[in-house]
Amino acid sequence: MTVDEILDDRVRKILKDPSGESWTDLELLAWYNDAARIIMGKKSVSRLDANGDEITYAEATATSDTVQLDDVWVMALTHYVCSLAFLQEGGDRQHLDRSDTHWNRFIDMLNL
């Protein structure tokens, strides 16, 4: 799975921004990397590959990069990026509420 599959197939659908007018790929990629670092730091199991070897996380530098986390973290990554996008949009209660909802889902997934 590539980073683009998360950002385009999931995040941009939730944000209703398929063409990237509101949020650039660079913004979303930076938030994706933030989420991945948090996940790698919180869950020791997420640092192991299928063989039990430790994964050294390298930040994604392009949306075409391969996701280095197990597929179980796809929704957590999605919720984190959406949370920050809606927070940046700010301004009205609806965006802030949506940001909070996605943030809480991200936190819940970290605690699984």
Position 47 scores a pLDDT of: 64
Q: Is 57 in contact with 3 (CB distance < 8 Å)? A: no
Give per-residue pLDDT as tens, 70-110. Answer: 888 999 999 999 999 999 987 789 999 999 999 999 999 98
Q: What is the DSSP string of 10-39?
A: IIHHHHT-TT-SSS-HHHHHHHHHHHHHHH
pTM reported for the whole predicted model: 0.87
Give per-residue pLDDT as tens, 28-77. Answer: 999 999 999 898 887 555 566 677 777 777 899 999 999 888 888 999 99
Give per-residue pLDDT as tens, 11-41. Answer: 999 999 999 899 999 999 999 999 998 988 8
Q: Is 61 in contact with 34 (CB distance < 8 Å)? A: no
Position 68 scores a pLDDT of: 83
Position 48 scores a pLDDT of: 67
> Left (φ > 0), alpha (ψ -120 to 50) or beta: where does 20 sit?
left
Position 42 scores a pLDDT of: 74
User: H or E stretch including 3?
Assistant: helix 3-6
